[in-house]
């Protein structure tokens, strides 16, 4: 994937990682579509994103795997996602 050099420089200085994200939560995280979710589920997702300081998230590949310990919610299928975190000032 091509990115302008200024973006490569910008992202190279940011903290990156990999997070397991529940499959059921991705439509809300990526598209903002909460139609299939309860208020409690959207609050849990928002808390996870805020507490983890996740600024940007992208799915690594299309394969899901089951985990008994997702970062929020009940045991479920998750995607491994590349993330960029907000920096503390």
Residue 11 has pLDDT above 90, yes or no: no
Per-residue pLDDT of 22-78, as tens digits, reads: 999 999 999 999 999 999 999 999 999 999 999 999 999 999 999 999 999 999 999
Give the model's pLDDT for residue 5: 65
H/E run at residue 7 = helix 5-12
Per-residue pLDDT of 47-61, as tens digits, reads: 999 999 999 999 999
Euclidean distance between CA atoms 19 and 82, whole angstroms: 7
What's the 3-state SS for 15-72? Answer: CEEEEEEEHHHHHHHHHCCCCCCCHHHHHHHHHHHHHHCEEEEEEEEEEEEEECCCCC
């Amino acid at each position: 994937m091509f990115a302008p050099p200024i973006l490569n420089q910008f992202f190279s200085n940011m903290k990156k990682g990999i997070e397991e994200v529940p499959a059921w939560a991705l439509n809300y995280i990526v598209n903002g579509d909460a139609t299939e979710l309860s208020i409690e589920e959207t609050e849990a997702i928002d808390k996870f994103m805020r507490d983890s300081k996740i600024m940007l998230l992208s799915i690594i590949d299309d394969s899901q795997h089951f985990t008994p310990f997702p970062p929020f919610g009940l045991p479920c299928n998750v995607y491994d996602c590349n993330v960029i975190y907000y920096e503390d000032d």
